[in-house]
Amino acid sequence: MLLNVGTSIRSATRFSPFIITHSSPSSPSSFCFSFSPKQTVSFTLQSSQMASFTTLSQSPPKLLFRQLFEKESSTYTYLLADCSHPDKPALLIDPVDRTVDRDLNLVKELGLKLIYAMNTHVHADHVTGTGLIKGKVPGVKSVISKASGSKADVFVEAGDKISFGDLFLEVRATPGHTMGCVTYVTGAGPDQPQPRMAFTGDALLIRGCGRTDFQIFTLPKETLLYPAHDYKGFSVTTVGEEMLYNPRLTKDEETFKNIMENLNLAYPKMIDVAVPANMVCGLQDLEPKAD
């Protein structure tokens, strides 16, 4: 493991309460800690494993954040919690059935109380873990958009807020990849994490997209974007970066349509299993079948 540390003085007048990592299996993870209005400490961490990171705040509420990865479908699962709240309420976004035990063990280790298991849309490349989570953790509620046509405990629409402790996520409708796609965005305001974070599902990927109606780009350019998948080793981007460098979304409408109509993608290998299961909250027939 290689650790390079350096400090620099800057004239910023506002505290930046976050730690950011851009990581891949073959490249270092870069962090920037902002401790005060006048001092920034940065370093590079090189390791054989993908790093996760936590968003910090000078004063309550404090967001705990973990980015988790499932390699078979290249899916990101996100864990968020309000650590300043006595109950430490937490939620999972886009959990995968294969990694439910890993995710729940982490929740237990961190002393969190899981209250929501959420999906950005009905996935076609993996089975959601929400059904298994509900069976293992009584009281957890599943969340998905009303437009998805799927089953869940809580159905959300554009403009809704999902609270966990003193923190909340806003729901934005971002259909296109599927009609029920939504993006979950951390709240605005001095008592919420800054910069804001948007969990885009498959509507917007890093330097790519499923399909989108471009509503994500109405967020501030510094907003951190966390997709449901990545196939190139990236973990986070920003609205500003994607507006400049996304090879699909920087094109005019007709060029974009032509690109998306000629991707020639293979038939998703999990779609015949994943979609029916995900339409019922990921619940599966766990009874062994007779020979």
pLDDT at 88 over 50: yes
- The DSSP letter of residue 202 is T
pLDDT digits (tens, 9 = 90+) for 151-173: 999 999 999 999 999 999 999 99
Which DSSP string do the residues of 64-111 spell out, in sequence order? EEEEEEETTTTEEEEEEEETTSTT-EEEEES-BGGGHHHHHHHHHHTT
Contact 217, 243 (CB under 8 A): yes
pTM for this model (two decimals): 0.65
Greater confidence, 59 or 279?
Answer: 279
144: β partners: 155
Contact 114, 133 (CB under 8 A): yes
- Residue 229's SS3 state is strand
Buried b (16+ CB within 10 A) or exposed e, 148-157: bebbbeebbe
- Contact residues for 5 (Cβ-Cβ < 8 A; gap 6+): 41, 42, 43
Parallel/antiparallel/unpaired status of strands 75-82 and 89-93: antiparallel
Residue 94 buriedness (CB in 10 A; 0-12 / 13-18 / 19+): buried
pLDDT digits (tens, 9 = 90+) for 197-249: 999 998 888 998 774 444 577 889 999 999 887 878 899 999 999 999 988 87
Parallel/antiparallel/unpaired status of strands 141-145 and 113-118: parallel
pLDDT digits (tens, 9 = 90+) for 108-146: 999 999 999 999 988 877 789 999 999 999 999 999 999
Contact 175, 200 (CB under 8 A): no
Domains of the chain as residue ranges with CATH: 63-263 (3.60.15.10)
Cα 269 from chain centroid (whole Å): 23
Using pLDDT thresholds of 50, 70 and 90, give the confidence band for residue 60.
Answer: low
Radius of gyration of the chain from its Cα atoms, rounded to whole angstroms: 19
